[in-house]
Amino acid sequence: MEILIIHGPNLNLLGRREPEVYGSLSLSEINAIITAEAEQLNFTVECRQSNHEGIIIDWLQDSAAENFSGIIINPAAFTHTSVAIRDAIAAIDLPVIEVHLSNISGREDFRHKSLTAAVCRGTISGFGATSYLVALTAFKHLPTI
């Protein structure tokens, strides 16, 4: 099983950007943790990051043709603003799990509403980099959940 990991805008700044909210790990460190966990689960992962909405939409639309089995996406700020990413997730036939490093429900009011969550299999937030690992474990059990 190959899982596409999509990191949204500003996640390239992890480790430097608001570490009290997002933690001190860099994106490359998080990707290494994700890759190691995936290997333990007999998965392969491809990690991508973009600050551009259209690129993320292209990745979603092309994911089945690229033979991915599922997607873990952290839409970051696009969670709260992008109908286009929401519609791209709804248009594909792959399971998608939304993750967030921080607990979006415990933050500013505008972050409480996820436009993308309703078209994902589930949402995991508030556990830092571990949110991605929980999502990988969910994929391991996806046929039973």
CA distance 125 to 121: 14
Strand segments, DSSP code E, in 36-83 are: 44-49, 70-74
Catalytic option among 7, 52, 100, 132: 100
d(CA 61, CA 64): 7
Q: Is 100 a catalytic residue?
A: yes
Q: Which of 7, 22, 80, 141 is catalytic?
A: 22
Cβ pair 103, 134 in contact under 8 A: no
Residue 118 buriedness (CB in 10 A; 0-12 / 13-18 / 19+): exposed
Alpha helices (H) along 41-129: 53-62, 83-91
Instruction: Judge whether 22 counts as a catalytic residue.
Output: yes
> Which residue numbers are catalytic?
22, 100
